[in-house]
Chains A and B, each alone.
Chain A
Amino acid sequence: MTFMVRFQNDDLFYLCKEREAVIRSGFSAMTLWFYVVPNNIKLCLFLIKYYYNQNLLTIETMLLKLSLFISILSSSQIEAALRGTTSSHFFDDAERKLAETKISGECTVANFAASVGGKANLASLLKTNNNDAIMQGVLDTKCANSLKPSM
């Protein structure tokens, strides 16, 4: 049995981006495994063996338990989705991305308000009072944070 798995550049890239997106979305460590295992079981085998020097039998036992957990997790997610409750962070994150509004120009109350339908809406989004100075202060902080390198 081989434990190595090689990826083309794009595969590697998408794999990494998927992991990064998962982490950024605040997924728990177990939810991270939910994404890793089904797609890259060979990778998991390799990593577990390499870092923990486990024998195959132990690894397979671990994977069996993990698969059971994944099944429970995925069924609860599917059920939640079918019920329309969308309880998982994953669906929340997808919805959030859909709801993004684009703002052209500098980080000002005027520019943001024009894009979100007025200052009242902006205040609601920012969870602040409808006051230009306060909103500008919040926007300054949020825009500055968005400009910090993330890659």
Chain B
Amino acid sequence: MCICHSPEITILFVLFYHSDLSDTLGKGPQFLKNYLDGGTTWNDNYEDNNLYVLSKDASVIASVYDADVKTSVFSAPDGGTSSTYPRYFSNFYKGDHECRLGVIECCYTASRLVSQPFQGNADICAFDLKEAAKSNHIKAMSMTLYDTNVEDQAFCSGFAYEEDSFGDSVKYNTLFHMAMKTNLYDKGLVKNIPGAPLCGCVEQMPIVDNASCVKAVEGYTIDSNGNVGVNISWTDCGNLATYYNSLDRSDTEKYFVNSKIVENGTCDTAAASFMNDRMFVSS
């Protein structure tokens, strides 16, 4: 028996050392990374005849959500990987920085719940795969022109924040709320767009023509001893690109985000522009 992987040691670790999201889920950093890339049993198993019931398979999501997500600020997922593999959770880094544009997005292509058939909200346009090389494991220059049909829509949602804002501080709480609780646990949404991560900085995600938006709402608690705690809630903020345009961000940043989440119905134009930028023209 390998003692290093025993639950008892996990308990000791959580007790006496700093823990983060990947520790809290109790499944290790590799599971969380793979989930965020579109894999693991959370993405691959579909409910069937009382097998692979999501509420049981992913029951830890509800537990963590009820206990911590609104009242404890999550740090970047790490799980002890950074000492050996810096920025192991590559989905949330652009170079050395966490999501430079301040937008984290998730896109799904299926539902694992029989009771909730998949319903997309976005056309998938094109994607430069090298942006997410540490998720798709393709090192060579490569790109995808999706040229999808109507029935091939994805469901995309995301959130944006200003630098050093409340939303920035609680971005991994918002990620948990949006990706794991709302999209996976409540709606059963699973599976990434081919070649792209399930969730990541918008820079690493494909060009799509819509993404819904969720926003962290600032709040606190104060107790009778004067101790102040955080109290996070979330609200819908419409279209992600439109919301981003309302933030205190530079025109350049807004340009990049608007080239990733283009106007509804303009996928063909966006895809053609994407290919032209790479010296390809349609014949």
Name the CB-closest residue of B to A95: B224
Residue contact B220 to A146, C-beta cutoff 8 Å:
yes
Q: Is B218 an interface residue (CB 8 A)?
A: yes
Name the CB-closest residue of A to B24: A151
Minimum CB–CB distance from A114 to chain B (whole Å) comes to 12
Which residues of the other chain, A, contact B218 by a CB distance below 8 angstroms?
104-107
Residue contact B73 to A139, C-beta cutoff 8 Å:
no
Residue contact B11 to A149, C-beta cutoff 8 Å:
no
A20 with B14: in contact, given A100-B221, A147-B169 (CB under 8 Å)? yes
Residue contact B73 to A148, C-beta cutoff 8 Å:
yes
Q: Is A68 an interface residue (CB 8 A)?
A: no
Q: Is B64 an interface residue (CB 8 A)?
A: yes
Residue contact B219 to A103, C-beta cutoff 8 Å:
yes
| Binding stretch for chain B, among A2-10, A70-78, A82-90 | A2-10
Q: What 1/0 mask marks residues of chain B from 170 to 183 whose CB sits below 8 Å from any chain A CB?
A: 10000000000000
Question: Chain B's interface: helix, strand, loop or mixed, by majority?
Answer: mixed
Q: How far is the CA of A95 from the CA of B224 in the complex (A)?
A: 9
Residue contact B75 to A149, C-beta cutoff 8 Å:
yes
Residue contact B222 to A112, C-beta cutoff 8 Å:
yes
Residue contact A103 to B63, C-beta cutoff 8 Å:
no
Q: Is B3 an interface residue (CB 8 A)?
A: yes
Q: What 1/0 mask marks residues of chain B from 23 to 35 whose CB sits below 8 Å from any chain A CB?
A: 0101100000000
A103 with B226: in contact, given A9-B60, A10-B60, A150-B73 (CB under 8 Å)? no
Residue contact A46 to B220, C-beta cutoff 8 Å:
no
Residue contact A20 to B15, C-beta cutoff 8 Å:
yes
In the complex, which of the residues A50, A115, A151 contacts B74, with contact meaning CB atoms closer than 8 Å?
Answer: A151
Q: What 1/0 mask marks residues of chain A from 104 to 130 whose CB sits below 8 Å from any chain B CB?
A: 111100001001100000000111000
Q: How far is the CA of A146 from the CA of B7 in the complex (A)?
A: 30
Which of A97, A106, A147, A151 counts the most chain B CB atoms within 10 A?
A151
Which residues of chain B (203-220) have a CB below 8 Å from chain A? 217-220
Which residues of chain B (20-58) have a CB below 8 Å from chain A? 20-21, 24, 26-27
Residue contact B10 to A12, C-beta cutoff 8 Å:
yes
Q: Is B141 an interface residue (CB 8 A)?
A: no
Residue contact A147 to B170, C-beta cutoff 8 Å:
yes
Q: Is B150 an interface residue (CB 8 A)?
A: no
| Binding stretch for chain A, among B116-124, B227-235, B250-258, B265-273 | B227-235
Name the CB-closest residue of B to A50: B3
Q: Is B96 an interface residue (CB 8 A)?
A: no
Which residues of the other chain, B, contact A7 by a CB distance below 8 angstroms?
7
Which of A102, A139, A147 counts the most chain B CB atoms within 10 A?
A147
Residue contact B63 to A19, C-beta cutoff 8 Å:
no
Residue contact A46 to B8, C-beta cutoff 8 Å:
yes
**Interface residues, chain A, CB within 8 Å of chain B?**
4-7, 9-10, 12-17, 19-20, 23, 43, 46-47, 50, 95-97, 99-107, 112, 115-116, 125-127, 139, 142-143, 145-151
Offer 10 A-B interface pairs, CB within 8 angstroms, sorted by A. A4-B1, A9-B26, A12-B10, A12-B26, A16-B11, A95-B224, A105-B219, A112-B220, A112-B222, A147-B230
Give 9 nearest A-B pairs by CB, closest first.
A149-B75, A142-B228, A99-B224, A16-B14, A147-B169, A100-B221, A125-B226, A146-B230, A103-B220
Given contacts A125-B224, A127-B226, A147-B170, 18 further A-B contacts (CB under 8 A): A4-B1, A10-B60, A12-B10, A16-B10, A16-B26, A20-B15, A47-B8, A96-B223, A96-B224, A96-B227, A101-B221, A105-B219, A107-B220, A125-B222, A142-B226, A147-B169, A151-B19, A151-B74
**Interface residues, chain B, CB within 8 Å of chain A?**
1, 3, 6-8, 10-12, 14-15, 19-21, 24, 26-27, 59-60, 63-64, 67-68, 72-75, 166, 169-170, 217-231
